[in-house]
Each structure stands twice: as C-alpha cells, then as structure tokens.
Structure 1
C-alpha cells in the first residue's frame, strides 16, 4: 500500500457512497470506511465495495480491553479489508491481542489486513493534548512514543500527521507504515483539522499513504480533484 491515496468515504449512507463513486467507474480506488458509514450500513457496505474491487481501510479505531479488541479483530479479519486500526493509547497488550485476532481469523490463503495504530489525531493540538490528556511531553514526543509501542507490539505502522512522519521513518525504519490524514491542497479550508499538510509535503516527508476526505468528496468535480491530488502526491493512478 505504499504511495497510496486513500479516499475517505465520510458519508452517512450507501446511497451517497455509490452516487459519489459512479463517476469513478472502472477505477480501482483505495477507500476509507469510518465509523459513521460502517455503523449505519454494516458489513454489507464492505462486501459491496469489495465486489467493485476497491481496497478498503476500515477506520474504526478500536480501543478497549485486550480481550474485547482481540475478539473484535477476528470479525474484522473475515470481512476481507486491507487495513484496520486501533488506538495506540490502549497499550501494548491490547495492540498485541489485536494482531493475534487478525492473524487467527484471516482466511487461509488470504493476506492478513495491515494493522496500524492511531498516535495523536490530526485534529489535536499540542495545547489540547497537554491540557486535556495531561500528557506533558511535546506532541512530537507523544507521537513517537506511541509509534515505538506500536512497532514493539508487531504492528505494521501508525496513523500520524505528515509532520511526524520523517522522524518516525528515521527511528523505526522505512518499512513501518505512516498513514497521514489532514491532507489539503494549499487553497483548501482546514475545517476541523489542525496539523495539516499538502500532498507534496507528505511525499517529501516519506509518508506511506495519505488520506483525503472532503477536499475530494465535497468537490464540485470529485474526479478532477482526485486526479489533482494524485498528481501532487506523485502516486500512480489505479
């Protein structure tokens, strides 16, 4: 999944999703299904996207006791998605059990979904983290700490902002995935994101995959916007 552009399907219904995807007919996309869509439509949403040969990041950010997360991952493994995630704040045991659940339930002959951990949300500022989470380290130190825990737990990578990606690559290696939301073109509204970056900045930082939502899904011409992001990102059109 290196050099992937993941389109966040931040819609409330299956109908809206397929209306958005209609102009992309014939293109194989990498899409993100988050909580809003999955909780409304359930596993059938995943099956229908897979029938159209799209790759899927199921973004549910699991965070619970280790046994619960491990059991939940067994169910997600059977859906045939390509990428899933947990919150690194759940700790090493939880992350290890998540990985065990995925490995145990991935059907024979199929590749296990990649598992990544959320470090700090790109909507979180350093001031918020320190005041509301009572983490007195710098935001960069917190992200790096969570990323190290994820690697020690056997995970494939992390969700972080593009601003921490190069540090993670330097310390944890180029094979450790960095998936970065908060991607905007220079002219875009930041909306609720705080730690944002352009596709070009992400590419130069060595990011593995970028996640783009409303800048594509709410564009007047989503296909044109997608191709514009791909051009600046430098990925390969699928």
Structure 2
C-alpha cells in the first residue's frame, strides 16, 4: 500500500511539473522597450559637413583684385557683343589691362549688363552704359558685390574715337578708382585725349560704331539722360 501511494504521488508530481513548463513567465510577457514598429522610420542625423550651406560668393574691396587676377588666367574670351535696342556693338578687349578686361567679361557672363541702359549720352563726346533705375539692376549689384578697381592708365591706350573706358566712382574716391559696373565709349573725332591718364581704356569698338553714333544722336534731357530708354538687352562674351 505504501508503495502504491508513492507511485501515484510520483505520477502526480510529473504531471504538475509538465504543466508548469507550458506557462509563460512574467518576463516573457514584457515588450522590450527598444522595439521598433514595422512602419516607423528612425531619422538619421545629418553629417557635420552639411550643417550649413556654403554662402554665396560676393566681391568686395578686399578680394576683388585677387579674384580677377586668378579669373584672368583661364579666360579664353576677349570680345563682348552688346545687343542694344538700337543695334549691335562688338568690343575687342585689351590683354594688357587684365583686371578691367576680366571684370567686363565676368559681369557679362553673370548677366549683369542685360536690361541695363545707356543712361548717359553727351553729344559728340561719349555714351555711357551699365546702369539703370530699376530694382533688377540694384539687386544684381547687391549679389555680385561692392568693389572698385584701381586705375590702369599707363598701358599706352589713348582715348581715340571708339575706345571703351571705365569711369571713376564719384563717392569718396580721391584716387579715381574705377566704377566696375559702368563703361563709356568715346564718340569724339579723332578722340578725347584729355581723358588720358585719368581713366582706364580697356577695349575698343570693332563693329557697330554706327550704332554708337546713333545712340549719341538720341534726344536727352538736361542731365544727359536719354529722353527714351536705350537698352542693353544682352551682353555676350566670346
């Protein structure tokens, strides 16, 4: 009898032991805290190199000379064609005034002269271009930068008729530094030689002098501003 009771007890113990193994423990019911839902996305941190976008380049009085010195080294263009509202003018640029040549080509390729005016016409003397009383031109100047160029007047270029030269800035400028956004073309026959030594000649008209004369013949007001706008529609360096 004692042996039978021991056998029944052993069978009962084994049954209870097997039942316990099928039950999950409290630990198995816990959802891990670092589980990721199927459709969720973990945002990646941007690389340090992309934290800030590179600022747009602007010319100023500290970097302009170095910039145009380097820019002139790789220039293949030496001419600029101006498409105006009265016809086309082609300008040959001088190699021995590298800063002014590079500046004129750079501004042309940047689209600065597009939709500016020949804003000053002095009868039998000059036509002057590169400015306009519109917001577009002011915005383009602001983006390109504020700078002046030193005069380069000792390269043997006299102000003959058809010479393209750069006016000096009128603001705080005892050394006659050149205003880089504007230029003038000599109309006087045979030339305006009193300008030699004071202004930098950097090119000459090789085609379209008849257009220059036509511009110079337009009616103007008391301030030499043409009565009707004379547009530089496009400037192309080639």
TM-score when scaled to structure 2? 0.25
In terms of fraction of residues, the more helix-rich structure is 1
Q: Which has the larger radius of gyration?
A: 2
Greater RCO, 1 or 2 (C-alpha within 8 Å, sep 6+): 2
Structure with the largest fraction of strand: 2
